[in-house]
Amino acid sequence: MKLRRVLPVVLFFAIGVPLHGQAPSQLEVNSLLTRASSALDHYQQLAPGIHCENVGEPKFRDACTAATQTLIERVEEAKSQIALYRQQSKPQPADLFEAYEKFRRVLAVLEDVSYVDPDSYGDHNKQLFAEAYNSFVKVDIWFEGVVEANIQNNAKCPDR
């Protein structure tokens, strides 16, 4: 095997493997929360462009309106929970988990919207919901991993 093929594998094991299982640093948590807040802000920027009143079929118009209202409420809850976490001098893993749960509840509504017939909300609204979903799902995966690592580390070192 040539050195060019071996080097990436060696680097992966030298750098990546020792990091696996380690607790996320406060810098990583802060970076994650900044990205989560950005996704929440992004939805708030997209929300005024969602026009449920333009949806043709009444049942889908009502569903669009309900989803949009629920999203507004859940985005505010998630933003408040993240702000609360950031205000604590010594936040615990349960506090980070609570912020994750609030963030996850926003994503759950966006997932529900994505399961509806793609054309039922109209192309314009569909694109906005899809854009919001994409920004949330990327953060959700990262958020879940950081919360899991934080909880596992706290179980190993409860006096932290």
pLDDT in tens, 87-141: 999 888 889 999 999 999 999 999 988 887 767 888 889 899 999 999 898 888 8
For the chain, the structural domain boundaries read 25-156
Question: Which residue type does 150 have?
Answer: N
- This prediction has a pTM of 0.77
pLDDT at residue 73 is higher than 50: yes
- Phi/psi zone of residue 36: left (φ > 0), alpha (ψ -120 to 50 degrees), beta? alpha
CATH class of 25-156: mainly alpha
CA distances (Å), 74 to each of 66, 107, 157, 158, in order? 12, 9, 33, 31
pLDDT at residue 158 in the model: 56
